[in-house]
Amino acid sequence: MKISLTQPTDRSTILIQLELSDLCIIIHTSVLFDFYETLYIWLGQIRDSQLPASTKFYEGGYFIELIVERASNDILWFTIDQQKYEYETIHITTATKLDELLKAFHDGITEFVKHEYRPSDWSVIDDLRNINWGALLKSPTIPGQNWQKRLLMSKLRAYDGKIEQSEDPEERASWKQLTPEQQWLIVLRDVLIAVIPVNNRTPSIIALLSLYRTLPVDIALGEIDSDWYEGRRVALNREYELDKMRSFSQQEKECRRILTTTRLKMLRVGQIVDGTVKRIKPYGLIVDIGGVNALLRTFAISQMPVEQLDLVFKHGDWVRAMIVSMDIERGRVSLSTSELEVEPGDMLKQPWKVYETATEKQP
């Protein structure tokens, strides 16, 4: 048996060609939906002899089902049911050995991924390289390998955490088969995918989503292959230069810190500065004074009590204030407008008057 995959340049389709002893079958699969995760799980079921095992997918108005059943201790029946039209069905069964079947699929997929696969043509977060196909040829070394439960968990969608209220009784029944910890890990998986808008997904974000979306299921089933995840992470870092991006981000932060320190060194206590209200807190205002965040505490706004801060200031308001204290090492600046008042309460009644006469208060 030989299995090979091709990806035509003019279509969003992957062709699976199965060469049996006396015939050849070509299966069309679209790259617009996720079939290969269930294919991987199906092969895993076969590997661990959880038989009979079947996987089904639809394409172009017809369905194809691949079925494996045990014929004897060493031999399997591999059946392909292909319904082309309403009354036309192709039914093919051939005998094969378990190792031969797994190796044929493994070799066909890994060769395709290595030489022909174009991830850019794939759907949003599916990437065949982020499936551990090599595990199919290994003896089960990770405890469990519960492929039936993995299949169940792959089909559930729970980003809103309300799957137990689903109108689908089969879905509700599947959900109840999971432990609370497994349920929450499925919610985590789907939330991570759902919260990032599609139009904000850079290639690097897509790569990481694709890699780690199976991690919660691996954790839930206690079947994490740490070596594989580490190797794949290293490969993604190299492909998308993620380490350089993180390094650049750190350089950017360091640059901002240096600029902030430089700006602080140019300020002095008693100086009148202009700023913009960035945030309104219960204890005062966070004011941007040219790239530096300064604090104007509520009690420093006026010589009269300020009962409702949000009635005096709004987000984005212009503020003119005096610097009353500074800590350059800790990056802290404290402001006061009460020091600029001619009469107590001017900041609450006529702040423009305070701002107009502010420079007269500057030493």
Q: For the segment 29-41, what is each residue's pLDDT rounded down to a tens digit?
A: 876 666 788 899 9
Q: For the segment 246-300, what is each residue's pLDDT rounded down to a tens digit?
A: 665 666 777 777 888 888 888 999 999 999 999 898 899 999 998 889 999 999 9
Q: Determine the Cα–Cα distance for residues 320 and 322; give it in Å rounded to an integer.
A: 7
Most confident of 28-37, 165-174, 185-194, 319-328: 319-328
Q: Determine the Cα–Cα distance for residues 42 and 20; give it in Å rounded to an integer.
A: 20
Query: Considering the chain, what percentage of its residues have pLDDT values greater than 70?
Result: 86
Q: 34, 30, 11: which is closest to 193 by C-alpha?
A: 34
In a 10 Å sphere around its CB, with 0-12 CB exposed, 13-18 middle and 19+ buried, how is residue 309 labelled? middle
253 membership: H or E segment, kind and range: helix 242-265
Predicted confidence band of residue 176 (pLDDT cuts 50, 70, 90): confident
Q: Determine the Cα–Cα distance for residues 149 and 230; give it in Å rounded to an integer.
A: 25
Residues in Cβ contact with 247 at an 8 Å cutoff, skipping those fewer than 6 apart: none
Region 212-232: mean pLDDT is 87
Domains of the chain: 1-140 (3.30.2450), 142-239 (no CATH), 263-361 (2.40.50.140)
